[in-house]
Amino acid sequence: MPELRRIPVNGVELNVALAGSGPAVLLLHGFPHTWELWTDIMADLSDRYLVIAPDLRGFGASSGAVSGYDAGTLAEDAAALLTALGVSSAAVVGIDAGTPPAFLLALRHPGLVRRLVVMESLLGRLPGAEDFLADGPPWWFGFHAAAPGLAETVLEGHEAAYIEWFLDAGTLGNGVRPDIRDAFVRAYTGSNALGRAFSYYRALPKSALQIEQATATARLTVPTMALGARPVGRALEHQLRPITDDLTGHVIENCGHIIPLHRPQALLALLHPFLA
């Protein structure tokens, strides 16, 4: 089992799972996940790496905050976490809500990020995702970002059914095993927990502006791998291609959005040669 530590960064306290030793690998989860999204991946990678898997600010067992759910602040949380752990260079892996902060971390701190892996997300309004967005963004983006308090009020008391829908859809109907499912439901139960998670969606316009401003003056120079499944496919890779010096792209077939839980062995088969 990983060691769980509480580490103060940027005015919040992050709940962080640590396992193994060696070169550092930082794992950034999405919604509706916690660090436990990476359970199978950590067990394998910890044989040769120091694996660092935080709950993002306000998510899971990390402390809440009034603000700071934009990608830029989450990226600086990650940088501060590495510094607090004495890590001078890490491979960074992000999925879903963890992808934009992982991207900005590599763009802003290329000396801190030796390799970047991003999965199943989009990077703001960067060109390349027009086909994916032809019918508009997924419905829950608007629901989560609606007037503060609305989605929380509607969902309170029905969290388990709501979270399970995402887990089932994200694994093409296979769901996730009960212990991880229960951990995710606990993490998003109650209006306060939901409100913190939805603050990420309410900050998406600010995050998109941060990404636009950063890519206007800088290119992504670290070796990068973009991984897609269903539904994002190659949209993220297409966004990255014009602004990245060293990009590899893959689509994992017969795989839902929650790659680390649906197809962990397929993910590891791509991670190992890339991280090495």
pLDDT, tens digit (0-9, with 9 covering 90-100), for 88-119: 999 999 999 999 999 999 999 999 999 999 99
**Residue 168's domain spans which residues?**
3-275
- With a CB cutoff of 8 Å and minimum separation 6, the contacts of 24 are 49, 50, 51, 52, 82, 85, 87, 89, 90, 91
Q: What is the pLDDT of residue 133?
A: 95
Task: Indicate the length of the chain as a whole number.
Answer: 276
pLDDT, tens digit (0-9, with 9 covering 90-100), for 237-250: 999 999 999 999 99
What's the Rg (C-alpha) of the chain? 17
Going by the DSSP 8-state scheme, the letter that residue 121 receives in this structure is -
Distance between first and last Cα of the chain: 24
pLDDT band at residue 1 under the 50/70/90 scheme: confident
Half-sphere exposure (Cβ direction) of 158: Cα atoms closer than 13 Å: 7
pLDDT, tens digit (0-9, with 9 covering 90-100), for 117-145: 999 999 999 999 999 999 999 999 999 99
Sheet holding 113-119, edge to edge: 3-9, 12-19, 50-54, 24-28, 90-95, 113-119, 224-228, 247-251
Structure tokens at 72: 């830029």
**Number of structural domains the chain divides into:** 1
Q: What is the pLDDT of residue 163?
A: 98
Mean pLDDT computed over every residue of the chain: 97
CA distance 23 to 275: 10
The CATH number assigned to the domain holding 205 equals: 3.40.50.1820
Beta carbons of 116 and 92 less than 8 angstroms apart: yes
Q: From the centroid of its chain, how far is CA 89? A: 19
Interhelix angle for 204-217 vs 71-84, to 10°? 70
Name the region of 68 (left: φ>0; alpha: ψ -120 to 50; beta: rest): left
